[in-house]
C-alpha cells in the first residue's frame, strides 16, 4: 500500500499539494473525511472536533452542536486524548483501504510501520500570510499581525501534539522523506515532479530494506 502523508505548516499550501498529488496519482485523499468519520463515531459536531483537534481550542469555551441541535458537551469530549486515539484508529483503517494521501493528523507517525512517503510542507511567514489572505472568506479583514498570530498558534498546537507522539520535533527533517518549501514555487506547478518522485520513491522502497 502506498501512503503519502502531508504534514504542513499553516498557510503553506500543504492541503492543496496533498489534494493535487492524490489527483495526479489516482490515490484516495483523506482530510476532512477523517473528521467526519470521527464525528459520526463520537456523535460530536465536526466543526467542534476541528477546533479541538486541529486548533487546540479549549473545548469548554465553545458552545457546540451535535448534528443540528445545540447541546452540552458529553464528558467524553473533554478528553481530547480519547478523541485523538479514536482518530488514530480511523486513520489506520483508511490507510488499509488502498493507496492514499493523508493530510495532517500526524499520520506520518501513526502509520510509520506502513513506511509512508512523509512530506513536510512549509514556507516563509510572509508567503504564508499572503496565502491566507488570498484565500480568506469574503469580508475577513485581518492585519498581517493577526494572520501571523493565528498561524503561529495553529503551528504551535500541531507541534505540541506531534511532539507527544514522536521522538523528532515537528518540522525536523529527520521525521520526513521530503521537505518542500512553497515560498518560491506555486503548489500547482510542484505537483508533477513531486508525483513522479513519489512513484520512484515507492518503487525504491521495495528494494531498500527498512
Residues found near its own copies in the complex (CB under 8 A): 115, 120, 122, 124, 171, 173-174, 176-181, 183-186, 189-190, 192-194, 196-197, 200-201, 203-205, 207-208
Closer CB to its own copies, residue 58 or residue 185?
Answer: 185
In the complex with its own copies, which residue's Cβ is closer, 84 or 117? 117
**Is-contact 66 110, C-beta < 8 A?**
no
**CB 52, min distance to its own copies, A:** 28
Q: How far is the CB of 69 from its own copies (least distance, A)?
A: 44
Q: Cα dist. 78→27, 61, 117, 164 in Å? A: 34, 11, 33, 18
Question: Minimum CB separation from its own copies for residue 89, in Å?
Answer: 27
Sequence-distant (6+) residues with CB within 8 A of 136 are: 142
Q: Smaller CB distance to its own copies: residue 18 or 175?
A: 175
> How many whole angstroms separate alpha carbon 71 and alpha carbon 82?
20
Which 3-state string (H, E, C) describes 29-50? Answer: EECHHHHHHHHHHHCCCHHHHH
**Cβ nearer to its own copies, comparing 59 with 155:** 155
Q: Match 512530506 to its residue by C-alpha cell.
A: 119
Residue with cell 469530549: 77
Cβ 4 to its own copies shortest distance, Å: 13
Give the shortest CB-126-to-its own copies separation in angstroms.
9
Cell of 14: 500543504
Which of residues 52 and 194 has its CB atom nearest to its own copies in the complex? 194
Amino acid at each position: 500500500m502506498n501512503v503519502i502523508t502531508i504534514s504542513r505548516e499553516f498557510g503553506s499550501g500543504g492541503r492543496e499539494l496533498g489534494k493535487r498529488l492524490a489527483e495526479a496519482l489516482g490515490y484516495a485523499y483523506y482530510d476532512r473525511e477523517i473528521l467526519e468519520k470521527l464525528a459520526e463515531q463520537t456523535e460530536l459536531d465536526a466543526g467542534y472536533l476541528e477546533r479541538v483537534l486541529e486548533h487546540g481550542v479549549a473545548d469548554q469555551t465553545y458552545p457546540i452542536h451535535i448534528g443540528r441541535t445545540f447541546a452540552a458537551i458529553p464528558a467524553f469530549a473533554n478528553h481530547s486524548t480519547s478523541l485523538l486515539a479514536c482518530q488514530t484508529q480511523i486513520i489506520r483503517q483508511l490507510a488499509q483501504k488502498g493507496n492514499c494521501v493523508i493530510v495532517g493528523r500526524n499520520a506520518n507517525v501513526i502509520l510509520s510501520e506502513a513506511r509512508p512517503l512523509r512530506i513536510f510542507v512549509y514556507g516563509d511567514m510572509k508567503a504564508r500570510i499572503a496565502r491566507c489572505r488570498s484565500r480568506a472568506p469574503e469580508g475577513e479583514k485581518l492585519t498581517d499581525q493577526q494572520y501571523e498570530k493565528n498561524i503561529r498558534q495553529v503551528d504551535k498546537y500541531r507541534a505540541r501534539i506531534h511532539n507527544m507522539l514522536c521522538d523528532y520535533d515537528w518540522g525536523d527533517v529527520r521525521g520526513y522523506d521530503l521537505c518542500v518549501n512553497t515560498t518560491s514555487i506555486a503548489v500547482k506547478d510542484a505537483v508533477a515532479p513531486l508525483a513522479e518522485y513519489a512513484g520512484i520513491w515507492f518503487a525504491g522502497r521495495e528494494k531498500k530494506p527498512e
